[in-house]
């Protein structure tokens, strides 16, 4: 075992003594059922074991058992403070500095200090450029793609159960979670949002706390969570896909082309993704900075996550998300948007997660008809034309800044549509499940 891996395992096992109220009764020497060293049993069945980096696999195994040390310690104060006061103190600390919080608990001080830490590799100019480049896709494709992308987290029972425990099986809650996710990523693309007192910095802190609240409630207030099966709720490796999927797909294409480095524009996008993930608490050794490194890390995660789909968890989450009404009201234009976007999302889901198998979709209760394919085609044509137009504008002096201002204004309008993001996990949602439900989930 390398010295670096030794340090990771030391951090994993330290959770037991650093936070005994949460992790004291967990045996960190176990290998949870969710982890497999046989790619044929994983969600990435096409990968061969020989194609995996053994060091990356070992790293993924360790991080499968790691939560978020500083945020978890703060979330564990819920029995003492209540979850609303914790959110209020964190918000104030983000906006005004931790010194502005009267009698700030040391756990909050440590949490903010961890987020304020500037990693050696960070280049904020590159981050700002990455934000500018990513605004195009977020403004033009984001509103149509967010529902379909959100579904990706529900296709594996080991990774999906935390979301099910938060009450997302209802359409209303699913809509709120989708909109919160859209709000987070949109907010982090606004100018200045990832500076120390920016709205993106605060949103990252809130998401990080929400994840820790889920861990606390899943481990302490639900009888459905089995560490021997699922490992730690929302481990660090399960936060990688949401933050790095676009970078992974880009890196996969680069590696296929035989390139070993990113172009300047690609590098800016990578820097943005890495820093956003850093603020969310992801360990830096999961944030590769080369195309091959990104591919190897993501492949190791996919090839070690055991495949598993159960309708009681995964299927219900998919249906609730596809059936959720996302717009803020039922004005005619919003109802039309919902109709078009939902059709697009269904085909997106079919193509990306079911390999085009409409019978499989039907078995899951998802009906996809000719009208949905037509809507998908219309949206794809419209979005592609807009993306190309803004890419061309970006290279025209004098027009570039104007086009960017238009995108920023559009993103701000989208944020109003998404509504106020709560980023909370209420313990009342974690009612003990019956034995039958618990058995079905495992």
Query: Please, is 257 exposed, middle or buried when counting C-beta atoms within 10 Å of its C-beta (0-12, 13-18, 19+)?
Result: exposed
Quote the pLDDT of residue 243.
87
Q: Which tens digit of pLDDT belongs to each residue from 33-86?
A: 999 999 999 999 889 988 899 999 999 999 999 999 999 999 999 999 998 999
Please tell me whether residue 69 adopts helix, strand or coil conformation. helix
Considering the domain boundaries, does residue 86 fall inside one?
Answer: yes
Residue 151 inside a domain? The answer is yes
How much is the average pLDDT of 202-213? Answer: 95
pLDDT, position 163: 80
| Cβ neighbours for 144, distance < 8 A, ≥ 6 positions apart | 341, 344, 345, 379, 383
How much of the chain exceeds pLDDT 90, in percent?
A: 70
Q: What is the pLDDT of residues 384-401, one digit of tens each?
A: 999 999 999 999 998 999
Confidence of residue 92 (pLDDT cuts 50, 70, 90): very high
Q: Is the per-residue pLDDT at 441 higher than 50? A: no
Q: Is residue 302 in a domain?
A: yes
Q: Express each pLDDT in 248-284 by its tens digit.
A: 989 999 999 999 999 999 999 999 999 999 999 999 9
**How would residue 432 be classed by pLDDT, with cut points 50, 70 and 90?**
very low
The model's confidence at residue 168, banded by pLDDT at 50, 70 and 90, is low
In the predicted structure, residue 302 carries a pLDDT above the cut 50? yes
- Is position 128 within any domain? yes
Question: For residue 354, what pLDDT is reported?
Answer: 82
Is the per-residue pLDDT at 381 higher than 70? yes
**Contact by Cβ (8 Å): 121, 285:** no
Is residue 88 one of the residues assigned to a domain?
Answer: yes
Decide if 437 is inside a domain: no
Whether residue 433 lies inside any domain: the answer is: no
**What is the per-residue pLDDT for 167?**
65
The count of structural domains within the chain is 1
**Cα–Cα dist 343/345, whole Å:** 5
Q: Which domain holds residue 219?
A: 3-419
Residue 423, pLDDT above cutoff 60: no
Residue tagged 């499968």 (tokens): 64
Asked if residue 319 has pLDDT above 50, the reply is yes
Whether 316 maps to a domain, the answer reads yes
- Give mean pLDDT, residues 294-305: 94
Mean of the per-residue pLDDT values of the chain: 90
Please report which helix (H) or strand (E) contains residue 23, including its range. Answer: helix 20-23
Residue 364, Cβ neighbours under 10 Å: how many? 18
User: CA-to-CA distance for 202 and 118, rounded, in angstroms?
Assistant: 16
pLDDT digits (tens, 9 = 90+) for 2-43: 888 999 999 999 999 999 999 999 999 999 999 999 999 999
**pLDDT above 70 as % of the chain:** 93
Has residue 412 got a pLDDT over 50?
A: yes
Contacts of 344 (CB under 8 A, 6+ apart): 144, 148, 372, 375, 376, 379, 380
Where do the DSSP E strands lie in 170-252? Answer: none
Is this prediction's pTM over 0.85?
yes
């Amino acid at each position: 075992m390398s010295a670096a891996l030794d340090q990771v395992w030391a951090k994993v096992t330290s959770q037991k003594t650093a936070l005994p109220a949460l992790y004291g009764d967990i045996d960190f020497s176990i290998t949870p059922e969710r982890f497999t060293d046989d790619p044929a049993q994983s969600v990435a069945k096409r990968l061969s074991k020989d194609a995996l980096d053994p060091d990356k696999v070992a790293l993924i195994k360790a991080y499968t058992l790691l939560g978020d040390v500083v945020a978890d310690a703060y979330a564990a104060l819920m029995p003492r403070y209540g979850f609303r006061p914790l959110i209020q103190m964190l918000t104030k600390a983000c906006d005004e500095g931790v010194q502005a919080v009267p009698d700030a608990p040391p756990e909050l001080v440590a949490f903010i200090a961890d987020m304020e830490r500037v990693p050696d590799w960070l280049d904020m100019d590159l981050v700002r450029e990455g934000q500018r480049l990513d605004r195009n896709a977020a403004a033009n494709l984001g509103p149509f793609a967010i529902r379909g992308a959100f579904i990706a987290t529900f296709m594996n029972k080991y990774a999906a159960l935390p979301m099910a425990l938060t009450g997302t099986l209802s359409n209303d809650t699913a809509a709120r979670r989708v909109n919160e996710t859209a709000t987070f990523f949109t907010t982090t693309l606004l100018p200045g949002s990832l500076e120390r007192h920016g709205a993106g910095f605060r949103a990252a802190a809130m998401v990080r706390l929400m994840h820790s609240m889920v861990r606390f409630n899943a481990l302490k207030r639900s009888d459905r969570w089995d560490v021997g099966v699922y490992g730690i709720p929302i481990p660090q490796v399960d936060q990688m896909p949401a933050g790095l999927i676009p970078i992974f797909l880009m890196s996969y294409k680069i590696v296929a082309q035989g390139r070993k480095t990113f172009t300047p524009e690609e590098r800016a996008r990578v820097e943005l993704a890495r820093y956003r993930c850093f603020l969310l608490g992801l360990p830096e050794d999961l944030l590769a900075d080369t195309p091959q490194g990104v591919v190897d890390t993501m492949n190791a995660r996919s090839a070690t996550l055991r495949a598993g789909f159960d309708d009681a968890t995964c299927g219900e989450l998919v249906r609730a998300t596809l059936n959720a009404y996302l717009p803020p009201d039922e004005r005619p234009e919003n109802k039309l948007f919902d109709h078009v976007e939902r059709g697009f999302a269904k085909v997106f889901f079919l193509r990306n997660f079911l390999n085009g198998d409409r019978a499989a979709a039907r078995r899951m209760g998802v009906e996809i008809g000719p009208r949905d394919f037509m809507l998908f085609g219309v949206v794809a044509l419209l979005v592609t034309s807009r993306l190309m137009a803004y890419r061309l504008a970006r290279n025209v002096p004098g027009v570039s800044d104007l086009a960017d201002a238009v995108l920023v204004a559009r993103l701000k309008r989208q944020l109003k549509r998404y509504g106020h993001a709560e980023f909370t996990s209420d313990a009342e949602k974690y009612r003990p499940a019956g034995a039958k439900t618990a058995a079905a989930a495992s």
